[in-house]
A = this chain, B = another copy of it.
């Protein structure tokens, strides 16, 4: 099957401007064109764009997704130092998880301080955080 840009965008749940944006950023290759210059895409590109979105939703920057796509594209350049890249990202993710657990605890405490389940005008937790 082959698709025009709007069909591709719809199949991937993104805006068609986003497709062109990914092309500009070299996350997807320049597609073939019809005689009139219309972009045409294959199912491979559907998979690729969905992968980009999925990785991005999981907290990867587009430049990081690009690095991962190096494996898919079997590109020597982007595969360079993959172990280092993955290790660094892993440490960041572990730190983030720790931070978020603290935040979760804080938010839970905060909720319990809301007397009427609506507003909250003073809170020793925020005040403690505020006063160091």
Contacts and interface: CB of A to CB of B under 8 A. Distances in A.
Copies of this chain per assembly = 2
A81 B120 CA distance: 8
A24 to B, nearest CB: 22
Interface size class of chain A, counting residues whose CB lies under 8 Å from the partner chain:
35 or more
Q: Which of A80, A82, A99, A118 has the most CB atoms of chain B within a 10 A radius of its CB?
A: A82
A104 B111 contact: no
A47 interface: yes
Given A71-B120, A90-B111, 7 more contacts: A47-B130, A51-B130, A58-B103, A71-B123, A82-B118, A83-B118, A90-B104
Interface of A: 47-48, 50-51, 54-55, 57-60, 68, 71-72, 74, 76, 79-84, 86-87, 89-90, 93-94, 96-97, 99-104, 107-108, 110-111, 114, 116-123, 126-127, 129-132
